Structure 1
Amino acid sequence: MSMKTRREVIRMLADQYKKAKSRNEKSAILDNAVKVLGCHRKHAIRTLANPPALTPTKSKRHRPVAYQEAMPVIERVWEALDYPCAERLHPVLLETAQTLARHGHLRLTDSVISQLQEISRPTLARRLSALRSPKARPTVSKRKPLAELRAQVPMIAYDWDETRPGALEIDLVEHNGGSSLGHFAYTLTVTDVVSGYTRRRALLGKSQLAVLRELKHIIAKWPMQPWGIHSDNGQEFLNAHLKTFCASNHIRFTRSRPYRKNDNAHVEQKNGFLVRQLVGYERYDRPEQVEWLNSIYALHDRYFNFCLPTRKLIGKERRGARVKKTFDTAKTPVARLIESGVLSSEQTQRLQAYQSSQDPLTLHNQLEMMLSRPVPSSTDTAEPVEAV
């Protein structure tokens, strides 16, 4: 309907609304107004209480825009000073105009000079806002880079009964001795949620590129090509470097919910069992100590993945307030990988041959000997042991 018809309908409904005596009558009129006008009920109440006039009042005539004669001069001065803001332009406006006039770039009259003297800084700012600067303005993203990245990385948690190996959870463990001051070492833990196969690497600091370098080192030695990487929301993981690496290797990159450690339950359990119980809570902040940690991890990764049997949760049943959990027969992580059927025959034969060549007692004694020695100083570095 036209605006004229709309105003007539509103006036008619407003008269009915004012004459209505009961609440039900007013409610029915409001229902009709909402249906006819297509507006919200609250808006209909306000409109019927104060209906518009049938004939809209003509707007008052605005006074002519001031300083029109001086605008060409202001624009030329603005251009000469490389398009400054009003705060910078206003104090030197008249002086610069006179300078340009002496060089023959513009002509000043008494009226223009008077306007340049009288114009205020806020008025000058309003006049300049209507002008278009040819200088390119830097584009500033309204969203923060981290927020943009979080929106691109799905927020999920792997199912506890996931059956396809290759879903990796990753996390960092601090070795700060109880103080976060200064530079200290971290342990990067990577675990497969299906088989429990786990690898670790120590690094000094947690820069994004350093974490990615160690993650690449671990994945290069992984028994199979992973299909997923799941991390927490730390910036050492949630960054463009890791996202690009996952995309280029066809790996699905996901993250856990903020402040929900149980979304990374498998790697959190490995942090306690394979890091804290192994090397403790001491502070490690020197390169030789990082080498010592990596020599232990290289040996212990072999010991854990090829020799130590572990149990895996295969069922849950709630009985009242309790949950009964069922575990499978204890097996080594490598045995679970082989039984999953995702490895090629060549990969299976290589892992089986390497597993049969391992001596658990020798590995155990070597680890006990390394852990019983003092942590190396700057003059005593540990020899790294390569793992398969």
Structure 2
Amino acid sequence: MELLRACWELTDQICGKRLAPFLPELLERLAARRSLPASASVAVVQRVSRMSPATVDRVLRPYRLRLPRHRPSTTAPGALLKGQVPLRTFADWDQASPGFFEMDLVAHCGWSAAGEFLYTLCLVDVATGWVVCAGLRNKREDTVLAALERLRDDLPFPMLGLDSDNVRQYDRAQTPYRRVLASRILSTARIDELAAEYVALDPVQLKRDIEAAQATLRARAAPLGARARWVTQPAPRSDSYVRQPCPVG
């Protein structure tokens, strides 16, 4: 189905468990911005918004099978610090209160880990899904620590804990915006400020801006030659979400 595939592409091809809960809100935002595909009738929009995770995965399976199965990993386990860093127990980690973060380092190496490339340090608040990121030139300790301190200072709430591993457990997916509002930790002024930013965002234009920035980065990296071979092999993608806008209703 074209509309579901467009939403999947717009959200960077996430799985059905994550995509299905977002569909009603995402479709509402696309309709508000008149950015729905031209073929999306009111009936189709309603049908897609009610899809279950299993149905989403079943419909998208033919498209998902066309994607590469594995990306290169640039992270190796380190045992040196395991005996030196104090471990927290389950009781110390409050997943219901904002401030406890999971951390990951993403390598922007494309489909090959050869040569030099940039990294992004990503922190995700467990309770709200709030995400903050910082670009890194390398994985050195001082570089990562400095980025962590910058990200911590930019948070709208205090950082209470930091974890570099995720558990294989899922709750119902929500946007960070919705989770932060539900946490009731923000002032009225801060809620109004976030609401204004939320209404002003256009998901399709945001996706285009991100891809334009990525294209610029690839173009600038191309002259590096052998160290940037990955830029000549970008991941397969589709422009199915780029359509002539049409009103709904």
Bigger CA radius of gyration: 1
TM bracket (short chain): 0.3 to 0.5
Higher relative contact order (CA 8 A, sep 6+): 2
Scaled by the length of structure 1, the TM-score of the pair is 0.32
